[in-house]
Amino acid sequence: MTENGKPKLAMYWASSCGGCEISVLNIHENILTVDEVFDIAFFPCIADFKIKDVEAYPDGYIDICLFNGAIRNSENEEMAQLLRQKSKVLVAFGSCAYEGCIPALSNLTTKKATFEKVYFNNPTIDNPDRILPQHSTEVAEGELTLPHFYHTVKSLDQVVEVDYFIPGCPPEPPQIWAVLQVVIGALTAGQPLPPAGSIIGAGTMALCDECTREKKEKTIKRFFRPYEIQPNPDQCLLEQGIICMGIATRSGCGALCPSVGIGCRGCYGPPDGVEDQGAKMLSAIASVLDVGHESMDEDVLEELIQEAVDTIADPAGTFYRFSMAHSILKRVKNGKGAA
Amino acid sequence: MSDHFEPVIVGFLCNWCSYRAADLAGTARIKYAPNLRPIRVMCSGRVDPQFVLQALRSGADGVLIAGCHPGECHYVNGNIKALRRFTLLRKTLEQWGIEQERVQLLWASASEGTVLAAAVNRMTEELRALGPLRWGEKVLGDNGAAHLVVEEV
Amino acid sequence: MTDQKKSPAEQEKVGVYICHCGSNIAGTINVEEVAQWAEKNPNVVVARNYEFMCSSTGQELIENDIKEKGLTRIVVASCSPHMHEKTFREATERGGLNPFLFEMANIREHGSWATNDKEAATSKAKALVNGAVERVVHHAPLEKIPVDINPNTLIVGGGIAGITAALELAEGGHHVYLVEREGTIGGRMAQIDKTFPTLDCSACILTPKMVDVGQNDNITLLTYSEVESVEGYIGNFNITVRKKARCVTEELCTSCGICEEKCPQKVIDENYGAGISYRKAIYRSFPQAVPGYPVLDKENCTYFQTGKCKVCEQVCPTEAIDYEQEDKVITFDVGNIILATGYDLFDARQIPQYGYGRLANVFSSLEFERMVNASGPTAGHIVLRDGVTEPESIAIVHCVGSRDQNHNEYCSKVCCMYSLKFAHLVHEHLPDAEVYNFYIDMRTPGKGYEEFYHRLLNEGTHFIRGRVAEITDADRHPGEEGKLIVQAENTLLGIQQRTPVDMVILSAGIEARHDAEDVSKLFKMGCDHDGFFNERHPKLAPVSTMTDGVFIAGACQGPKDIPDTVAQGGAAASQVAKLISQGTVLMEPVRASIREEECSGCRICNTLCPYNAIEFDEEKFVSRVITALCQGCGTCVAACPSGVIDGAHFTYTQVMAELKGVLWDVQSDVLTKQEVA
Amino acid sequence: MERITIDPITRLEGHGKIEIFLNEEGNVKNAYLQIPELRGFEQFSIGRPAEEMPRITNRICGVCPEAHHMAATKALDALFGVEPSSAVKKLRELFYSSFYVTDHTVHFYALGGPDFVLGPDSDPAERNILGVIRKVGVDIGIQVIECRKRNHEVIKMLGGRGVHPVAGLPGGWSKSMTKEEHELILEYAKQNIDFALFSLKIFDDIVLANQAYVDLIVSDAFTHQTYYMGTVDEKNQINFYDGLIRVVGPDGAELVKYPAKDYAKHIAERVEPWSYLKFPYLKAVGWKGFVDGADSGVYCATPLSRLNAADGMATPKAQEHYERFYETLGSKKTNGRYAPVHHRLATHWARLIELLYAAERMQELAQDPEITDPDVRPVITSIPTEGIGSVEAPRGTLTHHYKTDENGILTDVNLIVGTTNNNAPIAMSIKKAAEGLIKNGEVSEGLLNQVEMAFRNYDPCMSCATHSLPGQMPLEIQIRDKDGKLVNRLSQYVDQP
């Protein structure tokens, strides 16, 4: 690669879906500017540098590394260690690296249950010898190895220090471009970077700030599944009993899902000042559950509230849809969450 | 940890009823399990579910939320909100595989020192039977060990 | 981040003081060990243990250490904060620190007193101390919130409690709005004939005070009126009162009473007359009513029912009758409120086996009060329902509806004494009549009360210890014919006893007003299970409520006799007078506040506040806390899904720090990077 | 014995690794494609509300989330036993066609294209889309970007989000098409057709006009005789959104045609201890290992497979090119249909024909008066039980299978993902290419790209994730002696840091 003064950019995926890369490509023609400003130092999806090459770099050789994907196996963790060592600025890019995202729903179940489901118990499996993938296998010609599959999916900052976090599944292209412009400004014109550890490429407050639906006082008698009612197109979905994570989710996407009549699922993670997105969502909607009164008999009261609460299907999987790895407890004690 | 297991219970006690109930239990020299570590909040309605989760994350074996009886809340109905949150939290914790006995809600008025003491004794026994939770080492800690070998299935 | 700089919290210098409380704490907890252990905490500069921290020398320890060692935070581990939090906050302040930079660990009530296991108590003490230390370093200096006090006062209820409070304040030069539901003030006391134990005439001691109220320029008397709404907070309440139309122009009425005299329509007086006397359709409850002008009762007025009559209008010399008169809605501002809404009498019909309402000669205590009253329907003669026959034997049943699992568990406190009074009055009016008092326990605590009991013993009253099982007119034995038989177990003799009498008086207990719960909601303060208003503290703040600026006096707080009620009226008045003379009050700064610039306007919090302290700004699309209305419960803080509501002195950081602090010994070693950082 | 490790290659969601074992003579003894990744959607989806699956499973792949979103949504139709209105079906299919246009476009230009436009053995530094642009003009690069831009706009418009759409609901769609959107889409559809035709023209001029390329395409190293799978409509013509799944043998004879709900009767999956990814095969034929031919249950599901499995294309222009495709590659027409083409590299051409079809189909649907029907979100009251849904993902037939309790909470989930279908064929292609290219331990840089071409034509999803500038599969070959000492190390890149 060319040894000129251009800053070095790396983008790597661990346990991810590639959506982050697609979202980067969705800055469209601006990708050409990125190509002008940076030298690619490592970017499996677009260039041919190998792990060996990265290992050969001096520490801090890479100016900025966009790391997406969760830490699902030992290979992911080793790559995270390596890239932390070689990068000046390491960015947890996208929900997976930031807080675990959908892959971390796996923390609602166990490794054992996962292997059994995938390799033993499903309608199309043909595995008479009950074979499971192994870390090391002796085949006729020699040894084959696979990475260790972790019990718990972790976010990037749970295995290495992270300088910045860009939330979103995936981060929205305008936000990505805005961040890249800041970085370019800092690297080329010496403009200041945001304080280390900050969450960038997103707002600070809850999504409701961006949502155009009309909001009233919230008194909810029960909740509905999205197919059970036809929501009023202009009114706050939560008020209509459709679970919308917007109240406990960081702004930045522009409230896309509510704008097409689907409740926010929380992919931008919690807003500033909230540690555990799920717990806060839980607390908020339980508080406005408009059933039961202090003058009631205690048993009646508890029964009424239980009924209303039971209209919420799968609280854990809903409130922690994206933030499981970053939640206070991080995983379930056993597989109950998923089975 | 020694083989003898003493559960640790974090108690969130409301300033006006349950905290005073605990005061009264002491004043009346009622002896009860020393396993409760009380934290004073103004109202059971102040108990943020994050507190409960953090208590479990930080090593507690159980959490007791105690407030005034419905209708007797000094803030009219803060305890009703506590009950609503608790009910949803309990449903969620079940998905997390956390036994119901580990997180409990109790109504104890300022005059019910005996009720509070009895509840702490009962809960301590229940937790002894369940054994330690100790989240950090027993649940998260095993990531290190568990991923080294594919478990026997 | 690898930045090793000390955070602000890590730089705080904490002093820790472990109190022995004589042997109360030190007897069970190894205070030296706890102190030495506490000193290991990097934040702790000094950790002492001392005999009595609440003593002046103990407090001086704190003050001196602040000055000499430059402490910035104070932790005292001793008794419950409900005992001495104030004491040590003041010591902290004298030392030169903001009083809220102090935290207390309760190692006595929650520690040494709760177990004999010294080891466990000591390690629990460590946990609590550590929690306090970890918490206090995150404390912020707080200033109490000053609020100006409007010198006017609203008093609800014109009984003896309200009257007393009103006069205390008015005579002290403060303006009072006295609101009474009925046409006249006076309340229950006006219905009573004589007061125990002194037996002086109730009316004779009450009416002068009623007149004083009527004549005092500092009192705006609003009778036949009800409070409709209460907005605002201590020092600044805005009150709306509905003054019901009495169809009499007060300015013109001279209280001559001719309308009442000429009115052709007689009505049974259920209220003041206890249902055993008549009044007119236009009436004053009693001649000494204050104010003196009558009320026209539309439901029973011939003109309003049939369109004909108008006698009162014709006879009125000053043309004060105004059939067209409408309800008036009055609004005014006050700084404080005293509730003196009194009590309801237990309705004896709820105990069918006592036969009240079914057996003619079973009387309620209030009926008897009216009957024996010289101004009552029988001019004071004690007679049976037929209105002529004098009873030869009378049974007085105590604890009707009181001390009764099926009705009210509590003791109504006054029934024993007024039952003795009844017995005495019977002896006085009918010297030959036999009087039987059926009681469970004789409760006569009070000046001169026990003596009064002894007097009755000497007057020949028969005292039978036992709860009455049944009162019936079904005679079984000779001598029972035509009598009421009182069936009870005499627990002293251990025998079932049937006592035939001519008349039975049921000493009904005291109950909260039927509408007490609505009233408590209107004034945003709580009721207990029995419907009596909750005092702020059963011992130390008996007339205050949880709502600043709202006070309670008399039987609305719980059963009371007249002296206690008058005392509470005075106490409430002096509480209010204190606030008025202060001019401003400092409110506890434990309050919620919303960081508006971070509020997304989701409106989750809007409906949660029981004090309506949260308003929504339709322009800025943010929610806002009205600080003076906020009581600091923290419900909205816990609910806010954006975490932008701060609960002063119980912030997320403070509680979390205490939480991790008390769990110091069970924290796991497996911490994520993020938690280490 | 020497071994060659190719690490990393990348796949659908994450990474891939190729192990090539050589014998003493240094010839290929065996080759393994290892997939070191597992995310376990089938397990952690259990316990979730079924209606959330379109918004959970699209995270399997950020490159074709639309495919998972659609398969999941169709599985919900079946689960709740609701037949979507024709308006809903059309809206969904239009959305899906637009996705196909962007997906196929970028694969051809960024991945397939460079190999032909610039030549398999050209300077690797140039062998990427930028090189393509330099050679055939910058306007193409712009057109590619524009094509992605407008179709991602349609995806966001109708699906709610540009990546990971959210609009799918049982029996419906959460968002109808507005008047303004409709006009825009009509315009975009037209542009898509022009772009598709233009792309086929480029393929003609550069590839078909060059005999060397044609020879390469038909060369044995890139030829496999396998079964082919694809979804067809009632006329046995290709349809991406709905239809019956048809499997034909190497000779073109129909083996089976079945509705998606019967998938488990026909497909089974093997497990190997050295890969996390399972190996599907045809039950009717059986698993004979990594071999081709009529006796091996190995099948293929790619653009080429779909053409082979169908009788033709459902749109006129695409049909013309379909016929030309078979004629050119010397396939004979027997009783109404062409015999299958087995040359893997022809997949690139097949992909362009599908691109044209998708564009034409998008226009047909956009012109349908029903397409703006506002009533697309029905209220569902039925009790869910079990449902199977499938679509043609760009990388093969995609099947979702759900079971729930009466409350609609998932109790069992099974997924057969596009690329998984091709797990065995890809491994075989790699081995065959390696065998053909690695002789006596001598490995030339030129073989790298050709081995790469062996699996790139399948467009394994990570290479679709490399729809980008410039586009290449990262690939390195290490040759070690039996002590593991590195004796030779080759990379497509000349200059090492």
User: What structural domains does chain C harbor?
Assistant: 10-136 (3.40.50), 144-238+329-340+529-587 (3.50.50.60), 245-326 (3.30.70), 344-511 (3.50.50.60), 592-648 (3.30.70.20)
CB contact under 8 A, C673 and A204: no
Number of domains in chain D: 3
Chains in touch with D (3+ beta-carbon pairs under 8 Å) read A
Write down the pLDDT at residue C4: 55
**pLDDT score, position B151:** 35
Using a CB-CB distance cutoff of 8 angstroms, which residues of chain A are in contact with residue B77?
293-294
Give chain C positions within 8 Å (CB) of B139.
none
pLDDT of residue C154: 98
pLDDT grade, residue A189 (50/70/90)?
Answer: confident
Which chain C residues touch B22 with a CB distance below 8 Å?
109-110, 114
> C155: part of which helix (H) or strand (E)?
strand C153-156
Q: Which residue of C lies nearest to B68 if distances are taken between CA atoms? A: C528
Q: Give me the sign of the Cα torsion angle C299, C300, C304, C307.
A: positive
* pLDDT computed for residue C670 by the predictor: 44
Which residue does chain C place closest to A162, by CA atoms? C1
For chain A, the domain total comes to: 3
Q: Are residues A71 and A124 in the same domain?
A: no
What is the ipTM for the molecules in this complex? 0.91
**Residue A91 near residue A183, CB atoms below 8 Å:** no
Q: Which of A285, B40, B70 is nearest to C632 (CA)?
A: B40
Contacts of C524 in chain B (CB under 8 A): 76
Within its chain, how far is the Cα of D104 from the centroid?
9
* Residue A309 CB contacts under 8 Å (≥ 6 apart), including other chains: A286, A289, B84, B87, B88, B91
Could you tell me if D327 and D352 lie in one domain? no
> Among residues D293, D322, D342, which one ends one of the domains?
D342
Q: Test D51 with A102 for CB contact under 8 angstroms.
A: no
Close Cβ partners of D231 (under 8 Å, ≥ 6 residues apart)? D238, D239, D240, D242, D243, D244, D245, D246, D306, D390, D391, D392, D397
Sort out which chain B residues have CB atoms less than 8 A from C124's CB and list them. Answer: 34, 37
Question: Where is average pLDDT lowest: A141-150, B78-87, C337-346?
Answer: A141-150
Minimal CA–CA distance to A12: which of D462, C152, C377, C389?
Answer: D462
For residue D12, which of D67, D60, D79 has the smallest C-alpha distance? D60
Q: CA-to-CA distance for D321 and C345, rounded, in angstroms?
A: 99
Q: Is A151 on the interface with C (CB under 8 A)?
A: no
Pairwise CB contact (< 8 Å): C635 & B136? no
- Residues 89-108 in C contacting B (C-alpha not used; CB under 8 Å): 106, 108
Q: Which residues pair with C438 in a beta bridge?
A: C397, C464
Chain-wide mean pLDDT for chain D? 85
* Contact partners, residue D455, CB within 8 Å, separation at least 6: D9, D33, D426, D429, D430, D463, D473
Average pLDDT over residues A306-334: 95
Maximum alpha-carbon separation in chain B? 57
Assess whether pLDDT exceeds 70 at residue A244: yes
> Comparing C285-289, C651-655, D354-358, which segment has the lowest mean pLDDT?
C285-289
Query: Residues D233, D285: one domain?
Result: yes
Same domain (yes/no): D173, D235: no
Question: Does the distance separating the beta carbons of A217 and C601 come in below 8 Å?
Answer: no
B26–C610: do the CB atoms touch at under 8 Å? no
Chain A CB contacts of C620 below 8 Å: none
Q: Min CA distance, C188 vs chain B (Å)?
A: 28
The one-digit pLDDT tens for each residue of chain B (153 residues) are 446 899 999 999 999 899 999 998 999 999 999 999 999 999 999 999 999 999 999 999 999 999 999 987 888 899 999 999 999 999 999 999 999 999 999 999 888 899 999 999 999 999 999 999 999 888 887 543 333 333 333
Whether residues B84 and A154 touch (CB distance < 8 A) is answered with no
DSSP letter at D205 equals I
8 A C-beta contact, residue D239 and residue D311: no
* Cα-trace Rg, chain A: 23
- Residue D11 structural domain: 3-37+441-491
| Cβ–Cβ under 8 Å, residues D283 and D267 | yes
Task: Tell me if there are at least 3 CB pairs under 8 Å linking chains C and D.
Answer: no
D94 and D216 co-located in one domain: yes
- In tens, the pLDDT along C241-267 reads 999 999 999 999 999 999 999 999 999
CA A224-A226-A231 angle, 5° bins? 85
Tokens representing residue C582 in the block: 């202060």
Q: DSSP readout, A33-59? A: HHHHH-EEEE-TTT----HHHHHHSPT
Strands C14-19 and B62-67: unpaired
Going from the C-alpha of A3 to that of each of A61, D79, D126, the distances in angstroms are: 12, 58, 18
D163 and A125: CB-CB below 8 Å? no
Q: Are residues D32 and D139 in the same domain?
A: no
Query: By C-alpha distance, which of B29, B8, B11, B34 is closest to B108?
Result: B11
Q: Residues 602..621 of C with a Cβ closer than 8 Å to B: which?
A: 608, 610
> C591: how many CB neighbours lie within 10 A of its CB?
22
A179 lies in the same domain as A214: no
Rounded-to-integer distance, Cα C319 and Cα C337, Å: 37
Contacts of B52 in chain A (CB under 8 A): 279
Which amino acid does the sequence have at D107? H
Q: Are D371 and D337 in the same domain?
A: no
Has residue A247 been placed in a domain?
yes
Q: Do A133 and D65 touch (CB under 8 A)?
A: no
Interface of C with A in 638-667 (CB under 8 A): 638-644, 652
- What's chain D's Rg over C-alpha atoms? 22
Domain boundary assignment for chain B: 9-146
Q: Which of residues 53-112 of A touch D (CB under 8 A)?
A: 53, 56-57, 69, 72-73, 75, 101-103, 105-106, 108-109
| Chains with at least 3 CB pairs less than 8 angstroms from chain A | B, C, D
Partners of D490 in the beta sheet?
D477
- Residues C110 and C84 sit within 8 Å (Cβ to Cβ): no
Residues in B 91-110 with any Cβ partner in A closer than 8 A: 91-92, 94-98, 107
Taking an 8 Å cut-off on Cβ atoms, the answer to whether B76 and C109 are in contact is: no
User: A319 — contact with chain B (CB < 8 Å)?
Assistant: yes
| Size of the B and C interface in Cβ pairs below 8 Å | 162
**A158 to C1: CB separation less than 8 angstroms, yes or no:** no
CA distances from C226 to C43, C155, D25 (A): 59, 11, 108
Mean pLDDT of A260-265: 97
Whether A201 is in a domain gets the answer no
Identify the pLDDT of residue C629.
85
Neighbours of B56 (CB within 10 A): 26
pLDDT mean over D466-486: 39
Question: Using CA atoms, how far apart are residues D91 and D376, in angstroms rounded to an integer?
Answer: 9
pLDDT at site D127: 61
Would you call D63 and A17 a contact, using CB atoms and an 8 Å cutoff? Answer: yes
- Cβ–Cβ below 8 Å for B137 and C668: yes
A288 touches chain C (CB under 8 A): yes
C633/B23 CB distance under 8 A: no
pLDDT digits 0-9 by tens, D371-395: 999 999 999 999 999 999 999 999 8
Query: Per residue in D306-344, pLDDT tens?
Result: 999 999 999 999 999 999 999 999 898 888 889 999 999
Taking the C-alpha atoms of residue D361 and residue D192, their distance in angstroms, rounded to an integer, is 10
Is D55 inside a domain boundary?
no
Q: Which of residues 255-284 of A touch D (CB under 8 A)?
A: 256-257, 259-262, 265
Confidence of residue D496 (pLDDT cuts 50, 70, 90): very low
Q: At residue C187, what is the residue type?
A: G
Provide the pairing of β-strand C328-334 with C236-243: antiparallel
Q: Which residues contact D475 (CB under 8 A, 6 or more apart)?
A: A48, D6, D9, D448, D449, D451, D452, D491, D492
Beta bridge partners of residue B13, listed in sequence order: B40, B66
Nearest chain A Cα distance for residue C607, angstroms: 6
C96-141, pLDDT tens digit by residue?
999 999 999 999 999 999 999 999 999 999 999 999 999 999 999 9
Contact C291, C221 (CB under 8 A): yes
Smallest Cβ–Cβ distance between C606 and the set A209, A217, A285 belongs to A217
- Is the Cβ pair B137, C652 closer than 8 Å? no
Write down the pLDDT at residue A174. 93
Are A205 and C607 in contact (CB < 8 Å)?
A: no
Predicted model pTM: 0.83
Statement to judge: residues D195 and D277 lie in one domain: no
Chains D and A touch (3+ CB pairs under 8 A): yes
For residue D280, give the 3-state DSSP assignment. strand
Query: In this predicted model, what pLDDT tens digit does every residue of C188-211 receive, in sequence order?
Result: 999 999 999 999 999 899 999 999
Q: Say if D426 falls within a structural domain.
A: no
Chosen from C5, C518, C602 to mutate, greatest number of chain A CBs within 10 A: C602
CA pair distance C234, C547, nearest whole angstrom: 8
Residue D118 and residue D133 share a domain = yes
* B123/chain C closest Cα distance in angstroms: 16
For chain C, say whether B72 makes contact (Cβ under 8 Å): yes
3 state DSSP class of B136: helix
Across the interface, whether the CB atoms of A122 and D42 are under 8 A apart is answered: yes
D433 is a domain residue: no
Q: Which domain range does residue A134 map to?
A: 109-151
How far is residue C375 from each of residues A212, C273, C544, measured CA to CA in Å?
73, 10, 38
Q: What is the dihedral of CA C256, C258, C263, C269, to 10 degrees?
A: 40
What is the CATH topology of the domain spanning B9-146?
Rossmann fold (3.40.50)
Q: Are residues D175 and D213 in the same domain?
A: yes
- From D201's Cα to the closest Cα of chain A, the distance in A is 25
The helix/strand count (H/E) of chain B reads as: 6, 4
Closest chain B residue to the Cα of C129, Cα to Cα: B37
| DSSP code for A312 | S
3-state secondary structure of A18: coil
Quote the pLDDT of residue A43.
76
Chains in touch with C (≥3 Cβ pairs < 8 A): A, B
CB contacts under 8 A, A 106-165 vs B, are: 108, 111-112, 115-116, 120, 130, 132-135, 148-152, 154
For D312, residues 6+ apart whose C-beta sits below 8 A from its C-beta are: D235, D236, D237, D238, D319, D322, D323, D337
**Between helices D347-366 and D316-328, what is the axis angle to 10°?**
170
| Residue D53 resides in a domain | no
Per-residue model confidence as pLDDT tens digits over C324-341: 999 999 999 999 999 999
Beta-carbon contacts below 8 Å between A and B: 147
